Amino acid sequence: MSRHDLFRKYFAATSIVILLLVAGFAFLKLQGTYFGPPPILDPNFQLWSGNGNRSELMVWNLETTNLAGTQYTTTRAIVQGHDALRLALLQSGVGSHMAYLRLSETLDGARLATLMNSTLSLWVFKEPCNCDSNPFDKSSVLTAVETNDGMHTLSFILTDLRQGTLTILSHRIVFMPTPSDRWVLEIMSIGREYADANWGQPGFLTFSLILSVGGGNVGWHVTYLANIMIQSSPSQLGLAEAAVAFLLRAKRISEILLNV
């Protein structure tokens, strides 16, 4: 074998290594290197602990109205084949104040970044009251997904008929049509709503699931939630596909160089 042939083979082998290294680093960068906890911990509401005569979710923080006569329960329930979280709230009507039940988690770092670059879906089953088109009405019963970063509040209100967005100062409300008395899969993008509102990326985020009842709607009210799912946005999927294509192209070039 001539010196020219040896040089060509050496150059081809070196080129293969460089191409594969570049492709590998590009793939890792696009795929990300985060292998920690998911953005939403216990998304299927499976972790419970006993607290006297009441069971409580272990991961989710619970907050409720401190009003006389207000009662609540959080339990697991099987509803039409869904293993669900049942939120029940008693509006006593004392003082005609709104009562609420809130479950929340706080995210930052990689968990927050993943959530902001993904879509979130949630199964919802609401009681058939047709009383959620106006969140400011005293008889409203609302099921909502809400985020707060200390400066901005984003509320996805799941209503029977109303659709659209409403912005009041630093509070953005997204009305999502959600028929009652059946399971409905709702899909929302927190990152997209932040972009549409021209809000900057937050340093932390409190993610909440809320059942609220206006003071004029006395009695027990119930909503069911199941299976929060986080999915990569289409842009991320496109980048991942591009990285795979780049790896395949590098492999093909390496084969050509070796056969020269």
Query: Of 9-18, 70-79, 159-168, which range is least confident?
Result: 9-18
Mean per-residue pLDDT over the chain, rounded: 82
Mean pLDDT to the nearest integer, 132-147: 88
- What strand order describes the sheet that includes 118-126? 71-79, 82-91, 219-232, 118-126, 183-188
CA distance 185 to 100: 23
Assess whether pLDDT exceeds 50 at residue 31.
no
Tell me the three state secondary structure of residue 225: strand
Mean pLDDT to the nearest integer, 38-59: 87
* pLDDT tens sequence across 53-82: 677 899 999 999 887 888 999 999 999 999
Angle at 233 between CA 229 and CA 239, to 5 degrees: 135
Assess whether pLDDT exceeds 70 at residue 201.
yes
Q: Give Cα 145 to chain centroid, integer Å.
A: 9
pLDDT of amino acid 173: 95
- The count of other CB atoms within 10 Å of the CB of residue 95 is 10
Which amino acid, residue 207? F
CATH code: domain 48-232 is 2.60.120.260
Tell me the three state secondary structure of residue 237: helix
